[in-house]
Amino acid sequence: MKRLTTEEILQKSLHGTGQDPIALQTSLAQSVQTNPNIRVLRSHNTLFIYENLGNGTVQLVMETADNPRDLVAAIKDASHAMRLANFHYGRFELENPRILKALDMAGLSYKMISNNEVMLEF
């Protein structure tokens, strides 16, 4: 798959949701510039937006335009980067249950901490 721009990733990821990818890209850029705890990590055509919550924990949001195989590789890459940055846990809202299979395929440990929230162990 060819390397997409951030705008293209957001367009594909948000397709059909009614959300404006340009507005999200602008908001992300402003957040990264003004809040030192918010960062964006990219692997393949997947963006991992994370906020440092302290104590080795991050809150994650993922936007992807990757196919399933590349998504699993991107998740592995992001997990490795999080470990190198000394993060131990990641929390995220589960919007699509199929992501759990991708986490399994990437070899990550996780647990459901509520009906729609997942805790990852990097």
Q: Is 54 exposed, middle or buried (0-12, 13-18, 19+ CB in 10 A)?
A: exposed
- Mean pLDDT, range 107-120, rounded to an integer: 96
Q: What is the pTM assigned to this prediction?
A: 0.92
- Mean pLDDT, range 60-89, rounded to an integer: 97
Is a pLDDT exceeding 80 seen at residue 120?
yes
User: What is the per-residue pLDDT for 16?
Assistant: 87
User: What is the per-residue pLDDT for 4?
Assistant: 97
Reported as a single tens digit per residue, the pLDDT across 2-57 is 999 999 999 999 998 989 999 999 999 999 999 999 999 999 999 999 999 999 99
Record: fold of 6-121: Aminopeptidase (3.40.630)
- Mean pLDDT, range 80-87, rounded to an integer: 97
Integer CA distances (angstroms), 57 to 45, 65, 89, 113, 115, in order: 24, 25, 5, 14, 20
- Mean pLDDT, range 87-116, rounded to an integer: 96
What's the rounded Cα separation, in Å, for the pair 49 and 21? 14
Confidence of residue 1 (pLDDT cuts 50, 70, 90): confident
Structural domain spans, the chain: 6-121
User: What is the per-residue pLDDT for 51?
Assistant: 98
